[in-house]
């Protein structure tokens, strides 16, 4: 449910797929009004990323709590309407390929003179300038070039994961504006943000010269995943302090390993990680996952089930924290989403809003700018805007 932390902030979002919409959705979760501008006739391609009646669940999650204005930015009238909105806005978010915003007349240098308090957030694949600026990019490429995939993936069988947010940069710029009275430009890229995300791992390489791989982190953390008797996985983390290693050995009935020179010190255990895993693996075939977790809890061992998504959303702790929210959509019926990553005390909250149909708020937003119903209908006939069909 959105809180009212940014209730007086208006965000104009001209972005598609994940990066820009995700950043803007975080601001919407904090109560900002987010107007998403989409190109008619089809809008954000992420609407159709997975088959569903009106929009994909991927799109729905990233665009809840927003309004949709279907507007042709390549037309003079469309650009004029966009600029009129930006004149009164606080934040502009775009993830066009570098140079596109400038060609549309929506670059930072143009808009900063229209609204000197505007926070302009630009998100790209590899940066606005430089040898890779013109390359097309998606999250997988940023993760690969930043080194993230190399520390998360078996390079013989690579898999993909990822996400990105520019919201914290926008919030920092909004706070700075309170002191200076001026807006600013916030830039990030898939490459920059992802490399920053794994800065701790990069710092280890920069200090030691040792290239980390997928096992580097788990070896250093002394983390293991095992299959229990019932075939269900669980994870144990026994890095520091030393007591966790000792209580773990007690819980699995292998206190004999405490005096084994191969495992007697933290560095020795890291050097013999695979051997230690082989020594312990047979023990886990003697009990179910639930039995092991109960035993570990009794011995104060850091352990948890390795869940699939069905198990995650049905977990009692997830239910207790209210992390899954439900909203009624007029056409799609009940929709469920994972809510914001943070909770606030003493801030008023409102019900989550469903993601918009393409152009659902077009007429309302244009009316706020002074357009009559006849003028809106004329723009729709010209293909400059699109109005959602009720």
The residues carrying an active-site annotation are 222
- Over the Cα atoms of the chain, what is R_g? 25
**How far, rounded to the nearest angstrom, does the alpha carbon of residue 139 sit from its chain's CA centroid?**
11
Helices (H), 281-369: 289-298, 309-313, 316-321, 362-368
Q: Tell me how far apart the alpha carbons of residues 125 and 61 are, in angstroms, rounded to a whole number.
A: 22
Select from 195, 172, 173 the least CA-distant residue to 126.
195
Q: How far apart are CA 142 and CA 149, in angstroms?
A: 9
Tokens at residue 135, please?
A: 């390359």
Do 356 and 36 form a contact (C-beta atoms < 8 A)? yes
Element (H, E) at 190: helix 190-197
Which among 69, 68, 57, 70 is positioned nearest to 327, based on CA atoms?
Answer: 57
Handedness of CA 106, 110, 112, 115 (dihedral sign): negative
Cα gap 322→324, rounded to integer Å: 6
> What single-letter DSSP state applies at residue 95?
-
Contact (Cβ atoms closer than 8 angstroms) between residue 68 and residue 94: no
Q: Count CB neighbours of 55 within 10 A.
A: 25
- Which residue is listed with tokens 């920069």? 206
């Amino acid at each position: 449910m959105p809180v009212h932390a940014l209730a007086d902030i208006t965000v104009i979002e001209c972005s598609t797929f994940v990066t820009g919409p995700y950043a803007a959705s975080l601001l919407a979760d904090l109560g900002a009004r987010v107007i998403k501008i989409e190109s008619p006739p089809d809008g954000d391609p992420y609407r159709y990323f997975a088959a569903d009646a009106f929009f994909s669940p991927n799109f729905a999650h990233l665009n809840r709590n927003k309004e949709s204005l279907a507007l042709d930015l390549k037309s003079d009238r469309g650009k004029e309407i966009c600029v009129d909105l930006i004149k009164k806005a606080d934040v502009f978010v775009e993830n066009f390929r570098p140079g596109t915003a400038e060609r549309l007349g929506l670059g930072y240098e143009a808009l900063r003179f229209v609204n000197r308090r505007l926070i302009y957030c630009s998100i790209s694949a590899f940066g606005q300038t430089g040898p890779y600026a013109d390359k097309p990019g998606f999250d997988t490429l940023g993760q690969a070039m930043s080194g993230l995939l190399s520390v998360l993936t078996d390079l013989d069988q690579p898999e993909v994961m990822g996400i990105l947010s520019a919201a914290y940069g926008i919030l920092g710029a909004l706070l700075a504006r309170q002191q200076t009275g001026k807006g600013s430009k916030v830039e990030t890229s898939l490459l920059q943000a992802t490399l920053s995300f794994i800065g701790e791992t990069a710092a280890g390489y920069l200090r030691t010269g040792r290239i980390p791989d997928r096992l580097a982190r788990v070896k250093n953390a002394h983390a293991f995943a095992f299959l229990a008797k019932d075939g269900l996985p669980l994870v144990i983390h026994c890095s520091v302090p030393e007591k966790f290693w000792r209580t773990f050995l007690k819980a699995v009935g292998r206190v004999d390993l405490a005096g084994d020179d191969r495992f007697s010190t933290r560095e020795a255990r890291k050097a013999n990680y695979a051997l230690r895993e082989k020594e312990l693996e047979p023990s886990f075939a003697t009990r179910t996952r639930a039995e092991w977790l109960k035993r570990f809890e009794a011995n104060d061992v850091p352990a948890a089930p390795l869940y699939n998504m069905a198990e995650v959303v049905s977990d009692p702790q997830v239910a207790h924290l209210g992390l899954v929210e439900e909203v009624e959509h007029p056409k799609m019926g009940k929709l469920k989403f994972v809510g914001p990553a943070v909770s606030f005390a003493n801030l008023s909250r409102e019900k989550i809003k469903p993601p918009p149909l393409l152009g659902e708020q077009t007429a309302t937003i244009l009316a706020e700018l002074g357009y009559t119903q006849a003028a809106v209908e004329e723009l729709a006939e010209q293909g400059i805007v699109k109005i959602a069909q009720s």
